[in-house]
Structure 1
Amino acid sequence: MIAFLGTGLLGGNFVRALIKKGNEVQVWNRTAAKATALEADGAKAFENAADAVKGAARIHITLKDDASVNEVLAQALPGLQPGAVIIDHTTTSIEGAVERTQHWQQQGFTYLHVPVFMGPANALEGTGFMLVSGNQEVIQQWESTLAGMTGKVLNFGPEEGKAAGMKLTGNAFLVTLTGGLADTLTLAKSMGVSLSEVATLFDNWNPGALLPARLQRMGGGKYDTPSWELNMARKDTQLFLDAAQQGGVNLTVIPAVAALMDQFIARGHGNNDWTVIGKDAVS
């Protein structure tokens, strides 16, 4: 028996995938209609979390944040069977993941934080990535089960909370990327460059392919053989800012990058490779 607490887009498709594989799944969601909708797929919905977890050897959670996880698990506690395993896919703080691991161990349960890089389609198809860290004996016991729910399980070692940190790191990149794209599209529009023309550019030139080499260069600590000098990158950045001003639009991410560039130029790094602006983050 499996219980699933939190059956939104991601959790709901996890449930559907588990049922397709022949598992019996009991579900609960704060908005009850999202849980009862899964009864059409074969799940059994409950009005409260404690009833939903009764008889379940493992409980999966996909909720919003630390507070909601703590609240729902407290509600579920009266129904948990001895020795139940709690597998939490929620994106949370490092501190929260560590505290819950310790707290539930003291209560006689296993808590494993397994955040994911998966969308609803991935959950249904069993593709994507799950991140895990902590007690390696526990992870070894459950890794094959988790692998059955995703394309790949990434084990980041014995440090509790490391998986939470890796998830936040990845999400920070996604947020930064999307913010940068918003600036890019805003600037393009102000210059009369259409979305389809931007798409044509990126269909032919994939800057994402530069990421591994860029990360290696930023982490290498050697910036004195530039492929693009910081002074020149800053000059181009000013062209972005000037074009945006002329187009009457506001940019959000690029002004912050320009300010960071100015700081490093003032520190004497103008002739270094422009990736030097990441120096303080990696040194």
Structure 2
Amino acid sequence: MRVTVLGTGAMGAGVAGSLLREGHEVTVWNRSADKAAPLGDRGAVVADDPGSAVERAEVVLLTLFDTDAVVDVLEQAAGEAPTDAVWVQCSTVGVAGTETIVQLAAKYGITLVEAMMLGTKAPAEQGTLTMLAAGPSDVLDRVDPVLDAVGAKTVRAGDAVGAGTALKLAANAWIASITAATGQSLAVARGLGLDPALFLEAIDGSASDSAYAHTKGAAMLEGAFPAQFALDGLRKDIGLITEAARDAGVSTTVLEALGRVYADASAAGHGGDDIAAVGTAF
């Protein structure tokens, strides 16, 4: 299929690479052109602007940072795509941001679905993301070949755009929690005079075990945090989750604590590092 990827940061670049590997015809655009250029060497068409990027697209993926970025790009590109193109909103923008984008898509007559990406840089590059999709089933059927190229599985959360976002917020609350909890347990073990690696050994293979705890825990023990999921990106998401939970009448006690601990790590200079750097806050 002819697929355009708007936004080639860590996730968008990985997604574009997976689409190329699976034989799709890929066009990419990024606000910072240097981040899109390497994909040209792999066979993608690198566009100069969002409008020209979508001119021949059958599917357009929006893999951008926040609501403002999505709105800006949609405003630039909406009138340039074929009328039968399907736009897939993949950016984590929260409940209110999703409502804004749905309204904008309706204004321009855009066919919009969403497919939130559950995973980090490496799964995006490997095509092993979990895609959290929502929208009319017949439209999602049309984009299944694209979702299959970038994900190991697709979970359909509902028929209305917004259900995928809701599921992504719930999933990222878990990721934020388990990563911070791993850092806390390692710090408690260390503070009580133990080798903190014993904590990971203790949970290994037990009912409380988690592959994620071992992955992020290993980075914490090593003190090296090459970004798979940037800490400030998760801080943004925690804010979106907290806002959505509060509006839904759900307690935000844990979310507020998570917001503080990730903010502490960011203030210490780890905002661009992997989320495992939250361990430094303990």
**Map of 2:133 onto structure 1:** 132
RMSD of aligned C-alpha atoms? 2.3
**Map of 1:101 onto structure 2:** 102
1:86 matched to 2:87? The reply is yes
**Map of 1:178 onto structure 2:** 179
Q: Distance in 2 between matches of 1:147 and 1:173?
A: 24
- Alpha-carbon contact 1:97-1:113 (below 8 Å) kept: no
- Alpha-carbon contact 1:25-1:43 (below 8 Å) kept: yes
**Map of 1:187 onto structure 2:** 188
| 1:151 counterpart SS class | strand
Please state how far the C-alpha of 1:172 moved relative to its aligned partner.
0.6
Question: AA paired with 1:162?
Answer: A
User: Gaps spanning 5+ residues in structure 2: where?
Assistant: 211-253, 259-282
**Map of 1:117 onto structure 2:** 118
Please state how far the C-alpha of 1:66 moved relative to its aligned partner.
1.3
**Map of 2:19 onto structure 1:** 18
**Map of 1:266 onto structure 2:** none
Q: Distance in 2 between matches of 1:97 and 1:136?
A: 19
Please state how far the C-alpha of 1:151 moved relative to its aligned partner.
1.1
**Map of 2:44 onto structure 1:** 43
Higher relative contact order (CA 8 A, sep 6+): 2
Please state how far the C-alpha of 1:44 moved relative to its aligned partner.
1.5
| 1:155 counterpart SS class | strand
**Map of 2:150 onto structure 1:** 149
Cα gap change, 1:90/1:185 in structure 2, threshold over 3 Å: closer, same or farther? same
- Alpha-carbon contact 1:56-1:80 (below 8 Å) kept: yes
| 2:131 counterpart SS class | strand
Q: Distance in 1 between matches of 2:152 and 2:85?
A: 25
Most deviating of 105-114 and 141-150: 141-150
Question: AA paired with 2:76?
Answer: Q
**Map of 2:54 onto structure 1:** 53
Q: Distance in 1 between matches of 2:207 and 2:23?
A: 41
Q: Percent identity?
A: 28
**Map of 1:226 onto structure 2:** none
**Map of 1:69 onto structure 2:** 70
- Alpha-carbon contact 1:85-1:109 (below 8 Å) kept: yes
| 1:180 counterpart SS class | helix
- Alpha-carbon contact 1:101-1:112 (below 8 Å) kept: no
Question: AA paired with 1:17?
Answer: S
**Map of 2:201 onto structure 1:** 200
Q: Distance in 2 between matches of 1:45 and 1:148?
A: 20
Q: Distance in 2 between matches of 1:44 and 1:142?
A: 20
- Alpha-carbon contact 2:102-2:112 (below 8 Å) kept: yes
Question: AA paired with 2:120?
Answer: G
Question: AA paired with 1:9?
Answer: A
Instruction: Give the greater-gyration-radius structure (CA).
Output: 1
Q: Distance in 1 between matches of 2:79 and 2:26?
A: 19
Please state how far the C-alpha of 1:154 moved relative to its aligned partner.
0.6
- Alpha-carbon contact 2:90-2:114 (below 8 Å) kept: yes
User: Gaps spanning 5+ residues in structure 1: where?
Assistant: 210-252, 258-283
- Alpha-carbon contact 1:89-1:115 (below 8 Å) kept: yes
- Count of residue correspondences: 213
**Map of 2:269 onto structure 1:** none
Q: Distance in 2 between matches of 1:179 and 1:149?
A: 28
